[in-house]
């Protein structure tokens, strides 16, 4: 036997051992395998030398030409070198120049490979961020050797197992063991002879690692069968019951289901959908998003309905039997070419579909839809003749997933493209209606948009096939347009300020551009330049409408209307899409107007001046016929701006169309009656929008006879049995809106005429054509109509129609009486008598009518403000495509429903605001409205509500805000004169306070009026003149007597401060109005809209909805504004040396107002977190070096500090989260510490402000900042325990567990930087934590334990006996003690023993060292 070499062997010994090994002929322990050269592609002859290449080389004698090989492997040879032709006499430099050509030659030889037919394989969607790592320990994923066909590597076995799993092959059973068990074998009766099976059903042998694991598994199975046969019937039944009792019932069902499983659960995923897509038409990024995102909308199964089953490919499922000749429906014939050999895998698609079953896990399942857009349940077995089955991933399940519909929409078959797009349109319509919210997880619309739906539709619009293009237009309309949203806006058009709407812009998201950082303002890119630089995908992801406009949608729609001349349905869809694009913003409306030949095509084709009578009610082509949807498009365009309206009227001939359509009765227009009513209604609305700018007034003079004739026939047209009654009502409402706007415009004629005379050449709006004399004759007729409709409320058949029209009549009367008081022909006496008659004959009977009283009962259920939860289950919306989402769409109450009292109460309140301003004595007759039980309950609910803000609510919240404002204005007139109403003055004041930060853009005038009249009115702060300050003083005196504590300054002076604040209310109002002066221009624009100053209105499109007008913390605005101007700069010092003039008065008035709100209107400030209050009040200390030292500021800030730290509010003050508007509280606290060190002069108020965040429950970083970075301030932080109005226990309990902070505590005590005479509060806090730490015997880490012992030894040997006794004998904090804490007379036995053990251990160790 050969021995192993030793380290001591010499070279001769090794050679001798090698010779013996070769002589013995024993096999070597390692074999050298010579692998073929991969670069050559074949084994080849490795000994062949390079030929023909002569090179200039440097030769050195006695050295080989080539380095010896370090390994026995052959040298690498290039597979291309052999094919190179060289010559012996060729110069190496010439050859190098020939091969090393210029880069241009290389680039010219590049040929782009055609990839149009190459399939793009997308990664499979998984729920994991990274692919699962294959571990060697996972033996279950490996294939036995018998299935591998010999020995293979671990990686190869794992790949083979994965492929077998994909092909639905059992993982661990041998091929002969994969037989389907019979259903009769669920139980095991003893009299039944056990069937002879070739393999086990449950025992798989996956834990056996040997090469003979299948054989071992079979032996175990045979042994189990033998044991079962040896048992008697009673023993088998007893063992069976015992097993059933011990096992989980679900596991038992699983075992039985393995025996019952006869149908395969899946088909090979390699089968692809039947529809083949045109690859390469969708951008790669969109395609990848399509694959990933479409699987996000999956069917959500309720947990209680899901049964536990094994997943596909797991044990217990057997493969279906192979396809045989007998199973083939069509038998192959001998004469058929190449059909002599049967290929079963290619015939699998001819097999019958398996029965659909529910997936065996609780995981979500992919959603599938039918051609009507309805969701198909996974267990639903649909017949195949419906055409919903295809060769997809789950052929047994009918329906199409979103991903499959995307693929089908790019098919080469025209019918498949049309069908896919139509199905997507229906899915989008149902998603908008909210039909999938309860059954689908995820947002269908967002999923489709993320998957690239816009690109898909834009490509489909360019399809040359009209059918596909029509389906794409319909799908685009389903995506963009919501019929319920348009219906809601049309219903509120005749309401007060119903002409104005918010632009449907997505919520603005500020994006930080790193490229612009540090650049001058003139060098930075504008928003338009940034927008142009973005790709279509980036723009569409943020804003769908902008993305479509960037994709040149408008020219394509113009081409469809002008050249293709599609069917009537496509025309309607295109016009609806254009209307939705126009509602997006004024810039989008301008793009629609500027699109070449688009508006000309709409005017000539769908709003002609003459047309033939239609041949049928629903003609196939509507070109040449006037359409209501085209008129509505013009109306929305006109509402976008004064200039757009003027372009429509003057350049596009809209005035002629209005004259043509409105000069005759609807029945005379040669149109279908329904379409005739709709188009005249839209014509009146368009005219009303134009009159809202003071335009198209000449039409009023020309069409005056027709308008009077229409007014005279109002009662005759409103027949209760008429099926067109809703359309007739909308037409009358549109006419009343027109007359209201014309009245407002005529009322401004005299003012504009005077301005033009006195302007002396300055620019001013020209006076309108219509004057007050043109409209004054309509009032009597409309007032008669109103009286008749009020009487019709008693008629059950007419009350609904009357209630619909009465609000519009009230709004018209308000416009008339508002403008008549400004005219030179105004006769006060006659007008007052007329108003008294109107009140007694119309308004009071209307308010007291039982039907109206029943409506008022619905004011709270119909409110959007009070019913926040009513909009949680609204329809689907996406941030990039905002909608209105009417809240009553799903049967919930809302402002727009017929039972809503809001239109009536708003019109009534508006009229009362005007007539009580003219006739002061009429105010007392309407006290019943304010004192109504239902109105009072509604106002109480509003004072406690916190409605969220979004596009889905803003459009309707405006109308409710108007009603609240009008009720408060009525209260403002009645509170000073009516004691009953004055009892609820605090409620009205509370409502005004909560309404102010709710008001949306466009309502700035309402905010200004609230601030000027109600917010700071003494009449609404009843506590100020009814003993409120005295009550506060008595309450504080009682608290002082109970606690027996002398804490100064305290709220004992709060009564005096509140009394002074009530006196200073006019000055406080002036202070806040001054700080809101930047809103002056917006207030003027809002005032023109609210008061009907039409010639000054530039647009009926409200400002972009970025949030409310005022922030919720508006009472702190003067403080924050002063800090921003004069506070701490980036360099650490103050931004300015001196405060602006009047800063002291500004801060004083702001603090007075805050103190008043905190004491008497606490509910109004509940939306502001306490940490935000603390942060805003900190501006008092940061904005100046001495402002906080002023006496009035000191008193007010002390009062606010005491309120902020009351026991009931202290727990809600959470400083661990950043306050709104700040990145972190720690940054603010660091600024406070630096300011205290610089300018505090030991001020007690500033000291308490610094001590507040040092409580134990707040972040340890705040305490580390004091004892680490700003330890010098401890010398001046002289706040005593009596002056601190926070219990000391909040600082000392629980014990400190931060070891670095404990070291800082100990160091500051030992070094003398923290002394009782300098900083009493933190001295007690540091003593308490160090004492509890050194005597703590809780189990801790070795580092902590060592720190305890070290600190205790240092204290024990300390030379400062006073500090030593304080640290060792500290007991508990005590405010009445000399030092602020109690001490032990001597250490308790446990502590003394611990001290001796620690110090004794030190002594013994010292002896050992000696």
3-state secondary structure 1247-1304: HHHHHHHHCCCCCHHHHHHHHHHCHHHHHCCCCCCCCCCCCCHHHHCCCCCCHHHHHH
Q: What pTM, to 2 d.p., does this model score?
A: 0.76
The mean pLDDT value for 1265-1272 works out to 91
List, for residues 146-184, the tens digit of each pLDDT value.
Answer: 444 556 677 777 777 766 765 543 333 333 333 334 333
The count of C-alpha atoms lying within 13 angstroms of the C-alpha of 547, restricted to the half-sphere facing its C-beta, is 23
First CA to last CA distance, the chain: 64
In sequence order, what DSSP letters do the residues of 767-804 get, joined into one string?
Answer: PPS--HHHHTTHHHHHHHHHHHHHHGGGSTTTHHHHHH
Is the model more confident about 720 or about 775? 775
**pLDDT surpassing 70 at residue 27:** yes
pLDDT of residue 1231: 92
Cβ neighbours of residue 163 under 8 Å, at least 6 residues apart? none
**pLDDT surpassing 80 at residue 445:** yes
Cβ neighbours of residue 745 under 8 Å, at least 6 residues apart? 691, 692, 694, 697, 768, 770, 1094, 1095
Q: Give the C-alpha separation, 603 to 616, whole Å.
A: 22
**Positive or negative torsion for Cα 1137, 1138, 1143, 1144:** positive
pLDDT band at 1000 (very low <50, low <70, confident <90, very high): very high
Closest CA to 82 of 44, 36, 56, 55: 44
pLDDT of residue 317: 43
pLDDT band at 191 (very low <50, low <70, confident <90, very high): very low
Tell me how far CA of residue 1389 lies from CA of 607, 1206, 1329, 1350, 1367, in angstroms: 103, 40, 20, 21, 16
List, for residues 371-399, the tens digit of each pLDDT value.
Answer: 999 998 887 888 878 888 877 677 778 88
Exposure string for 1094-1120, b = 16+ CB within 10 A, e = fewer? bbbbebbbbbebeebbbebbbbbbbbb
Is the model more confident about 780 or about 198? 780
**pLDDT surpassing 60 at residue 707:** yes
pLDDT of residue 1050: 46
Mean pLDDT for the chain? 80
**pLDDT surpassing 60 at residue 547:** yes
The mean pLDDT value for 976-983 works out to 93
- 784's tokens: 């008669």
Closest CA to 1029 of 1197, 1152, 891: 1152
CA 1090 to chain centre: 33
pLDDT of residue 1386: 87
Q: Give the C-alpha separation, 296 to 367, whole Å.
A: 9
Q: Give the C-alpha separation, 970 to 929, whole Å.
A: 9
- Do 1095 and 693 meet the contact criterion of CB atoms below 8 Å apart? yes
Strands 1381-1383 and 1370-1373: antiparallel
The mean pLDDT value for 1225-1244 works out to 91
List, for residues 276-314, the tens digit of each pLDDT value.
Answer: 334 333 343 443 344 444 444 444 333 333 233 333 433
Residue 1397: left if φ>0, alpha if ψ -120 to 50, beta else—which one?
A: alpha
- Listed in order, strand segments (DSSP E) in 308-352 are none
List, for residues 1156-1212, the tens digit of each pLDDT value.
Answer: 999 899 888 889 999 999 999 999 999 888 889 999 999 999 999 988 888 888 888
Residue 1139 gets which letter from DSSP?
P
pLDDT of residue 1136: 55
List, for residues 85-98, the tens digit of each pLDDT value.
Answer: 555 566 666 666 66
List, for residues 892-938, the tens digit of each pLDDT value.
Answer: 446 677 778 999 999 999 999 999 999 999 999 999 999 999 999 99
List, for residues 571-593, the tens digit of each pLDDT value.
Answer: 999 999 999 999 999 999 999 99
Cα Rg of the chain, angstroms: 44
Most confident of 316-330, 697-711, 1198-1212: 697-711
Residue 347 gets which letter from DSSP?
S
pLDDT of residue 358: 58
Closest CA to 455 of 361, 548, 358, 322: 548
**pLDDT surpassing 50 at residue 699:** yes
List, for residues 1101-1154, the tens digit of each pLDDT value.
Answer: 999 988 899 999 999 999 999 998 875 554 445 555 677 888 999 999 999 999
What are all long-range contacts of 19-27, with beta carbons under 8 Å and residues at least 24 apart? 26/2
Residue 150: left if φ>0, alpha if ψ -120 to 50, beta else—which one?
A: left
**Positive or negative torsion for Cα 720, 723, 726, 728:** negative
pLDDT of residue 1388: 87
Determine which of 364-368, 1275-1279, 1298-1302 has the lowest per-residue pLDDT on average.
Answer: 364-368
List, for residues 831-874, the tens digit of each pLDDT value.
Answer: 999 999 999 999 999 999 999 999 999 899 889 888 876 444 45
Q: Residue 236: how many CB atoms within 10 A of its CB?
A: 15
**Positive or negative torsion for Cα 238, 242, 245, 248:** negative
């Amino acid at each position: 036997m050969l021995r192993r070499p030793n380290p001591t062997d010499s070279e001769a010994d090794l050679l001798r051992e090698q010779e013996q090994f070769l002589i013995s002929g024993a096999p070597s322990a390692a074999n050298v395998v010579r692998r073929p050269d991969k670069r050559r592609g074949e084994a080849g002859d490795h000994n062949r030398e390079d030929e023909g290449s002569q090179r200039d080389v440097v030769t050195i004698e006695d050295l080989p030409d080539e380095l010896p090989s370090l390994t026995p492997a052959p040298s690498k040879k290039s597979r291309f070198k052999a094919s190179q032709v060289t010559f012996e006499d060729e110069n190496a430099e010439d050859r190098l120049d020939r091969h090393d050509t210029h880069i241009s030659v290389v680039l010219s030889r590049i040929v782009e490979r055609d990839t149009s037919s190459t399939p793009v394989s997308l990664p499979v969607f998984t729920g994991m961020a990274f692919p699962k790592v294959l571990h060697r320990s996972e033996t279950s994923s490996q294939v036995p050797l018998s299935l591998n066909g010999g020995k293979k590597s671990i990686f190869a076995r794992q790949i083979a197992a994965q492929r077998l799993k994909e092909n639905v092959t059992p993982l661990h059973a041998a091929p002969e063991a994969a037989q389907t068990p019979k259903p009769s074998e669920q139980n095991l009766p003893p009299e039944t002879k056990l069937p002879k099976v070739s393999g086990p059903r449950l025992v798989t042998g996956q834990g056996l690692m040997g090469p003979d694991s299948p054989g071992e598994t079979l032996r175990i199975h045979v042994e189990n069968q033998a044991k079962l046969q040896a048992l008697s019937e009673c023993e088998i039944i007893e063992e069976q019951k015992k097993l059933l009792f011990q096992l989980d019932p679900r596991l038992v069902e699983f075992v039985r289901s393995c025996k019952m499983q006869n149908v395969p659960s899946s088909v090979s995923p390699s089968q692809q959908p039947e529809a083949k897509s045109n690859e390469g038409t969708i951008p790669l990024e969109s395609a990848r998003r399509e694959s990933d995102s479409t699987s996000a909308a999956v069917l959500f199964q309720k947990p209680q309905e899901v049964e536990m089953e094994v997943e596909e490919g797991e044990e217990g499922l057997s493969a279906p039997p192979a396809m045989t000749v007998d199973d083939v429906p069509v038998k192959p014939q001998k004469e058929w070419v190449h059909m002599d050999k049967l290929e079963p895998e290619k015939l699998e698609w001819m097999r019958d579909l398996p029965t659909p079953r529910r997936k065996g896990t609780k995981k979500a399942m992919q959603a599938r839809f039918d051609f009507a857009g309805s969701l198909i349940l996974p267990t639903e077995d649909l017949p195949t003749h419906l055409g919903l089955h295809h060769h997809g991933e789950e052929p047994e399940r009918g329906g199409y997933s979103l991903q499959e519909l995307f693929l089908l929409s790019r098919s080469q078959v025209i019918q498949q493209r049309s069908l896919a797009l139509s199905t997507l349109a229906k899915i989008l319509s149902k998603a908008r209606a909210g039909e999938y919210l309860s059954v689908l997880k995820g947002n269908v619309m967002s999923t489709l948009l993320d998957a690239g739906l816009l690109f898909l539709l834009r490509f489909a619009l360019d399809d040359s096939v009209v059918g596909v293009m029509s389906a794409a237009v319909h799908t685009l309309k389903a995506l963009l347009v919501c019929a319920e949203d348009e219906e809601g806006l049309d219903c509120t058009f005749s309401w007060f300020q119903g002409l104005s709407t918010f632009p449907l812009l997505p919520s603005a998201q500020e994006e930080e551009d790193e490229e612009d950082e540090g650049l001058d303002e003139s060098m930075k890119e504008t928003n338009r330049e940034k927008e142009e630089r973005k790709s279509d995908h980036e723009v569409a992801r943020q804003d769908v409408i902008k993305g479509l406009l960037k994709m040149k949608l408008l020219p394509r729609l113009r081409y469809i209307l002008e050249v293709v001349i599609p069917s009537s349905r496509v025309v309607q869809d295109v016009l609806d899409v254009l209307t939705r694009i126009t509602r997006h913003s004024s810039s989008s409306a301008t793009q629609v107007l500027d699109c070449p030949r688009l508006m000309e095509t709409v005017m000539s084709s769908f709003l002609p001046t003459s047309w033939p009578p239609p041949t049928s009610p629903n003609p196939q082509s509507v070109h040449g016929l006037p359409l209501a949807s085209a008129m509505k498009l013009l109306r929305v365009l006109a509402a976008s701006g004064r200039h757009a309206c003027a372009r429509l009227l003057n350049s596009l001939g809209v005035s002629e169309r209005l004259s043509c359509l409105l000069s005759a009765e609807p029945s005379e227009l040669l149109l279908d009656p329904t379409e005739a009513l709709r188009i005249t209604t839209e014509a009146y609305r368009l005219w009303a929008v134009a009159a809202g700018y003071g335009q198209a007034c000449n039409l009023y003079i020309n069409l005056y006879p027709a308008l009077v004739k229409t007014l005279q026939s109002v009662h005759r047209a409103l027949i209760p049995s008429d099926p067109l009654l809703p359309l007739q009502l909308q037409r009358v409402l549109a006419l009343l809106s027109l007359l209201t706007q014309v009245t407002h415009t005529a009322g401004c004629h005299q003012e504009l005429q005077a301005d033009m005379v006195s302007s002396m050449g300055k620019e001013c709006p020209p006076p309108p054509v219509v004057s007050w004399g043109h409209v004054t004759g309509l009032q009597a007729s409309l007032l008669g109509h109103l009286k008749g409709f009020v009487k019709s409320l008693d008629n059950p058949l007419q009350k609904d129609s009357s209630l619909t029209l009465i609000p519009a009549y009230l709004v018209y009367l308000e416009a008339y009486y508002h403008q008549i008081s400004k005219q030179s022909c105004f006769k006060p006496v006659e007008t007052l008598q007329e108003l008294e008659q109107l009140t007694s004959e119309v308004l009071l009977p209307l308010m007291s009518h039982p039907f109206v009283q029943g409506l008022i009962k619905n004011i709270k259920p119909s409110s959007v403000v009070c019913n926040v939860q009513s909009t949680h289950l609204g329809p689907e919306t996406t941030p990039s495509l905002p909608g209105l989402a009417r809240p009553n769409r799903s049967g919930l109450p809302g402002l727009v429903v017929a039972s809503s009292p809001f239109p009536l109460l708003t019109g009534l309140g508006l009229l009362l605001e005007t007539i009580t301003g003219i006739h002061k004595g009429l105010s007392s007759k309407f006290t019943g409205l304010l004192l109504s039980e239902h109105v009072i309950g509604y106002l109480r609910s509003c004072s406690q509500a916190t409605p969220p803000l979004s596009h889905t609510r803003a459009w309707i919240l405006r109308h409710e805000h108007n009603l609240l404002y009008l009720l408060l204005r009525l209260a403002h007139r009645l509170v000073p004169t009516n004691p009953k109403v004055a009892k609820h003055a605090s409620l009205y004041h509370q409502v005004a306070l909560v309404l102010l930060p709710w008001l949306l853009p466009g309502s700035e005038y309402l905010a200004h009026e609230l601030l000027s009249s109600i917010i700071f009115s003494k009449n609404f702060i009843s506590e100020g003149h009814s003993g409120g300050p005295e009550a506060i003083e008595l309450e504080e005196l009682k608290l002082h007597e109970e606690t027996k504590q002398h804490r100064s300054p305290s709220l004992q002076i709060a009564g005096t401060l509140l009394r002074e604040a009530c006196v200073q209310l006019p000055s406080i109002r002036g202070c806040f109005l001054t700080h809101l002066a930047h809103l002056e221009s917006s207030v003027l624009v809002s005032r023109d809209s609210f008061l009907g100053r039409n010639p000054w209105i530039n647009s009926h499109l409200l400002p972009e909805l970025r949030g409310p007008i005022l922030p919720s913390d508006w009472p702190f605005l003067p403080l924050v504004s002063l800090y921003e101007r004069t506070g701490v700069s980036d360099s650490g010092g103050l931004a300015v040396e001196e405060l602006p003039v009047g800063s002291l008065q500004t801060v004083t008035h702001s603090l007075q107002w805050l103190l008043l709100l905190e004491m008497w209107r606490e509910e109004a400030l509940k939306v502001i977190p306490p940490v935000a209050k603390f942060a805003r009040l900190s501006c008092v200390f940061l904005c100046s070096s001495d402002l906080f030292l002023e006496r009035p500021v000191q008193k007010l800030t002390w009062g606010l500090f005491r309120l902020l730290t009351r026991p009931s509010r202290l727990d809600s003050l959470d400083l661990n989260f950043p306050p709104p508007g700040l990145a972190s509280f720690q940054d603010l606290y660091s600024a406070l510490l630096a300011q205290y060190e610089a300018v505090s002069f030991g001020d007690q108020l500033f000291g308490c402000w610094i001590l507040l965040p040092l409580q134990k429950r707040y972040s340890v970083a705040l305490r580390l900042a004091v004892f680490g970075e700003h330890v010098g301030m401890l010398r001046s932080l002289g706040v005593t325990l009596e002056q601190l109005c926070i219990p000391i226990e909040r600082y000392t309990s629980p014990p400190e567990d931060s070891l670095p902070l404990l070291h800082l505590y100990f160091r500051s005590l030992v070094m003398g930087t923290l002394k009782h005479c300098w900083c009493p509060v933190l001295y007690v806090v540091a003593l308490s934590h160090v004492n509890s730490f050194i005597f703590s015997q809780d189990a801790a880490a070795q580092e902590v334990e060592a720190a305890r012992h070290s600190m205790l030894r240092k204290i024990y040997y300390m030379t400062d006996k006073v500090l030593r006794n304080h640290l060792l004998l500290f007991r508990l904090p005590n405010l009445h003690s000399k030092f602020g804490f109690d001490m032990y007379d001597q250490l308790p036995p446990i502590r003394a023993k611990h001290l001796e053990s620690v110090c004794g251990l030190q002594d013994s160790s010292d002896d050992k060292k000696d």
